[in-house]
Structure 1
Amino acid sequence: MPQGFQLRFDAGRASRALRRGAAQGLYLAAEYVLGEADQVVPLDEAALQRSGAASVDAPSLTAMVSYDTPYAVVQHERLDYRHAPGRQAKYLEGPLNAARQEVAALLAAEIRRALR
């Protein structure tokens, strides 16, 4: 004799879990990119490196990696500046582009974890 079953899907609960997982994944990804950027950020007295921060705006699902010194943007954009060996301009752009796969994997893992 066939058995019946009933499936209830709570879309609101699934959506909230998905957003929480995405926000957590974005935060972990931003922290990862910050760590990679810290390896190549121009270094003199390390003020620029120490000013680095990763954050997430959960409502808009936007991650941010930033450095907060008066000269951070100039150091990032000026390709003609000379830096110590291993340090470079585009210290955010380069690591972010290089870490695309890792960023995607961190985000996907946290979304999967949230939907369990």
Structure 2
Amino acid sequence: MTQSARLRWNGGAIVGGTRAGAVRGLRISAEHVLAESRKRVPIEEATLERSGTATLDEPSLKAAIAYDTPYAVRQHEELNYRHDAGRTAKYLEGPLAEQADTVRAIIAAQLRRALRG
């Protein structure tokens, strides 16, 4: 008795699905880090907190998180400023470093999901 099998390789769909998963993972990760950093942003009137955005450049697979006020950088870098409890300088740098494992897990989960079809 002879058995045969036929395999059809659809590499283009796999690459496309993987890229879509990476894009989705990056977007979710950037929003996650933004949410974590908003918990630490120095707050007076919440202008700085509300200015936070997460963006994604799909062609380069790069995500960015930014706060857009004239004083955002100074508030981030000035370690001697006094802040309310739980609010700190390095409000973006700290959460980004602390959430690195979570970011990797989110991206990996989205890649796995994309590969499952």
TM-score class, shorter-chain normalisation, is over 0.9
Unpaired stretches in structure 2, ≥5 consecutive residues: none
Q: TM-score, normalised by structure 1?
A: 0.95
Name the residue aligned to 1:60.
Answer: 60
2:102 is aligned with 1:102: yes
Unpaired stretches in structure 1, ≥5 consecutive residues: none
1:25-104 correspondence runs (5 A) = 25-104=25-104
Sequence identity of aligned pairs in percent?
Answer: 53
Distance 1:61 1:5 in 2: 38
Q: Aligned-residue CA RMSD in angstroms? A: 0.9
Distance 2:80 2:48 in 1: 18
| 2:113 maps to amino acid | R
Distance 2:19 2:48 in 1: 32
| 1:5 maps to amino acid | A
1:12-27 correspondence runs (5 A) = 12-27=12-27
Q: How many residues align?
A: 116
